[in-house]
Amino acid sequence: MHVKLSELAARFGLRLVGEDREIRGVNTLDNAGPDELSFLANPKYAPALATTRAGAVIVPERHAGDVATALVSDNPYLCLARIATLFAPPQGTQEQGVSPLAFVHEAATVDPAAIVYPFVYVGPRSRVAAGARLFPHVYVGEDCEVGQNATLYPGVTLMSGVRLGRGVICHPGCVLGSDGFGYAQGPEGLVKVPQIGPVVVGDGVEIGANSAVDRGSLGTTEIRSGAKVDNLCQVAHNVRIGEHSILVAQVGVSGSTTIGRGVILAGQAGVVGHLSIGDGAMVGAQAGVGQDLPPGARVSGSPAYEHGLFLRNSVLLPKLPELFKRVKELEKELFELRKQGTNDDDA
């Protein structure tokens, strides 16, 4: 595919500076060639503008004069995401329809405009909508719903009762609807609590590779529209994740916790159960949250506390050995002064 810069400028509301030319792809500042488009989103990479071979660069206004040809944007990274979609080759080659090597139960419904690859299993009473793509070794249990234009990559498992909205993307190996971790202590030991609630996933949600979303114990586990879950995340039973929230890699959310709208849980953050995380909150990497967070809170550390204080403490922490040494020296000096004062009084 190739497209002119002037066409991109018109389509995405950008200002073209310099010569109009055709672009055939996108790449980094270091690796882009004369027929590729690059971008500058982080100011620390600005020196690379002087040496890049890119045919054009998406830049903020203050860097519009630093390259011969530029597309000027208020948000270069967002602009790149939209343009890169034009050059992203689709995965998979099968045309619409169900492969003869797939198994679709006679009580299931698959739209003729869906794509079902070899070795897919679709269970009884499940429905697969138009435009959905089910790659090899996908398992769709009974009573599931796969929404329009959803994509289930190889090895995705939907246990019974999982409902996916439109445009959902499930990456390889993720599991939705596995049993939540629920046990009651009895005289004979641990007794399993049946997990009979569904998993409901809204429109445009993306779930990363090898992540697990447990079914509700009695109620529902819900991921609302626009939320994004990275690889290797654990979402426990009856968790509710609000619209456009982000769970970065290896995040764990314990049961019955409610995550608000637009929340960011950074990598390896952990949230204990039965909490409420307010809209727009930010939890830093590896933080451990053990109490409710109000809307807009910013916390880090384990246990988690105010992010700004955490940063200040992080600066001081490496200095503790030297501070401890200085305190011991001051204690020694103070002891000597007190000892001398006592001797003077005795005299």
What positions carry a catalytic annotation? Answer: 237
Amino acid at 316: L
> What whole-number distance in Å separates Cα of residue 307 and Cα of residue 235?
24
Tell me the β-bridge partners of 223.
201, 241
- What is the per-residue burial (b if ≥16 Cβ within 10 Å, else e) of 118-135? eebbbbeebbbbebbbbb
| Peptide bond preceding 321 in cis form (omega within 30 of 0) | no
CA angle (289 as vertex; 288, 294 as ends), nearest 5: 150
> What whole-number distance in Å separates Cα of residue 150 and Cα of residue 82?
19
> What whole-number distance in Å separates Cα of residue 337 and Cα of residue 347?
15
